[in-house]
Each structure stands twice: as structure tokens, then as C-alpha cells.
């Protein structure tokens, strides 16, 4: 007999509330994080433009792209992906708020 694992698409919610930090006055020397997603292909072009601008005009130390991929893992696995991304950058763009 085989077992089928059914994953819930429902978020378990935030485990810890934290205030949003202030934006840095300058980006020079910072590691910039850009969240991209294959579901929104045009955002990939936008992210490439942001990365280019940040490197050439803002003097960022580097750019890290984060693609959450299929997001079908356990909540802990998905949270770990985001945590590793957040810990590796100083500032991030994760969407447009449109």
C-alpha cells in the first residue's frame, strides 16, 4: 500500500512579529537582494534592470537573486529558504506593491 502526502496550501502565519527597519541612506557597499519569480516573468526583466542600476550607479557590493521556485515544500522548508535569503542581504526588493 502506498501513502500519499497531502500538503496544505494554507500559511501557518507569522511566528514572530518584527518591525520593519528603516531603509539605508545609501546602497554603496550593501548586498542587494532581489526576489524573482517565474510566475511573473516580466519582473525578471525589471529585476535585471534594478541589479544593473544598483551595480553601476549605487555601488552595491553585490546582488543576490532569490527564486522561491515551486513553493510546495513544508512550511519550515519554505521559511528556511526565505530566512537564508534574508540573512545574506542587507536590503531587498521583493515586489512592487502593485
| Interval 11-57: pLDDT, tens | 666 667 777 778 889 999 999 999 998 777 788 889 999 999 999 99
Strand order in the sheet with 62-66: 62-66, 31-35, 91-93
The predicted structure's pLDDT at residue 79:
84
pLDDT value for 41: 79
Residue indicated by cell numbers 529585476: 47
pTM over 0.85, yes/no: no
Percent of the chain whose predicted confidence (pLDDT) is above 90: 41
Q: What is the DSSP letter of 20?
A: P
Determine the Cα angle at 87 with ends 82 and 56, to 5°.
100
User: Confidence band (pLDDT; 50, 70, 90) for 92?
Assistant: very high
Q: Contact, 47 vs 53, CB < 8 A? A: no
Amino acid at each position: 500500500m502506498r501513502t500519499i502526502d497531502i500538503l496544505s496550501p494554507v500559511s501557518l502565519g507569522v511566528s514572530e512579529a518584527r518591525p520593519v527597519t528603516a531603509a539605508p541612506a545609501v546602497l554603496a557597499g550593501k548586498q542587494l537582494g532581489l526576489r524573482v519569480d517565474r510566475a511573473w516573468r516580466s519582473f525578471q526583466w525589471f529585476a535585471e534592470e534594478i541589479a544593473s542600476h544598483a551595480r553601476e550607479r549605487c555601488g552595491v557590493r553585490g546582488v543576490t537573486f532569490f527564486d522561491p521556485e515551486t513553493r510546495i515544500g513544508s512550511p519550515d522548508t519554505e521559511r528556511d529558504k526565505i530566512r537564508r535569503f534574508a540573512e545574506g542581504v542587507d536590503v531587498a526588493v521583493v515586489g512592487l506593491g502593485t
